[in-house]
A = this chain, B = another copy of it.
Amino acid sequence: MSELKTIQLKAPYLIFLGEETSPTYAKTGAGIAHWRKEDCLGQMNLEGGSVDIGLPKMNIAEASDQGAKTLVIGTSVVGGAIPDSWLPVLIEALEAGMDIAAGVHTKLNDNEALVEAAKNAGQKLIDVRTPPKNIPVGNGKKRTGKRLLTVGTDCALGKKYTALAIDKDLNSRGLKSTFRATGQTGILISGSGMPIDAVVADFLSGAAEVLSPDNDPDHWDIIEGQGALHHPGYAAVSMGLLMGSQPDVFVVCTELGREKVSGWPEFDLPSIGEVIQRTTDIGKRTNKDIRCIGISVNSSKFSEPEALEKMQEIEKEYGLPVVDPIRFGVEKLTEVIIGS
Residues of A with Cβ closer than 8 Å to B? 137-141, 196-202, 204-206, 229-230, 232-237, 239-240, 243, 264, 266-267, 278, 281-282, 285-286
| Bound Cα distance from A201 to B182, whole angstroms | 13
A201 touches B236 (CB 8 A): yes
- Given A140-B266, A199-B201: A235 and B230 within 8 A (CB)? no
Contact of A232 among B198, B201, B205, B266 (CB under 8 A): B205
B206 touches A202 (CB 8 A): no
B202 touches A237 (CB 8 A): yes
B201 touches A204 (CB 8 A): yes
Chain B residues contacting A230 (CB-CB under 8 Å) are 285
Task: Give the shortest distance, in Å, between A140 (CB) and chain B (any CB).
Answer: 3
Task: Give the shortest distance, in Å, between A146 (CB) and chain B (any CB).
Answer: 19
Contact of A138 among B232, B266, B281 (CB under 8 A): B232
- Given A198-B201, A198-B202, A201-B198: A286 and B232 within 8 A (CB)? yes
A230 to B, closest residue via Cβ: B285
B202 touches A267 (CB 8 A): no
Chain B residues contacting A243 (CB-CB under 8 Å) are 232, 235-236
A240 to B, closest residue via Cβ: B236
A196 touches B201 (CB 8 A): yes
- Given A199-B200, A200-B198: A205 and B240 within 8 A (CB)? no
Contact of A197 among B138, B201, B239 (CB under 8 A): B201
| Bound Cα distance from A128 to B205, whole angstroms | 23
Chain B residues contacting A266 (CB-CB under 8 Å) are 140-141
Chain B residues contacting A196 (CB-CB under 8 Å) are 201
Chain B residues contacting A282 (CB-CB under 8 Å) are 229, 235, 278
Contact of A240 among B137, B141, B235, B267 (CB under 8 A): B235
**Among A201, A229, A232: residue with most chain B CB under 10 A:** A201
| Bound Cα distance from A285 to B228, whole angstroms | 12
Can you list 26 residue pairs at the A/B interface with Cβ under 8 Å? A137-B233, A139-B264, A140-B266, A140-B267, A141-B266, A197-B202, A198-B201, A198-B202, A199-B200, A199-B201, A201-B201, A201-B204, A201-B240, A204-B236, A205-B232, A205-B235, A229-B282, A232-B285, A235-B243, A235-B282, A236-B236, A236-B239, A236-B243, A267-B285, A278-B281, A278-B282
Contact of A237 among B201, B206, B278, B285 (CB under 8 A): B201
Task: Give the shortest distance, in Å, between A322 (CB) and chain B (any CB).
Answer: 25
| Bound Cα distance from A92 to B140, whole angstroms | 47
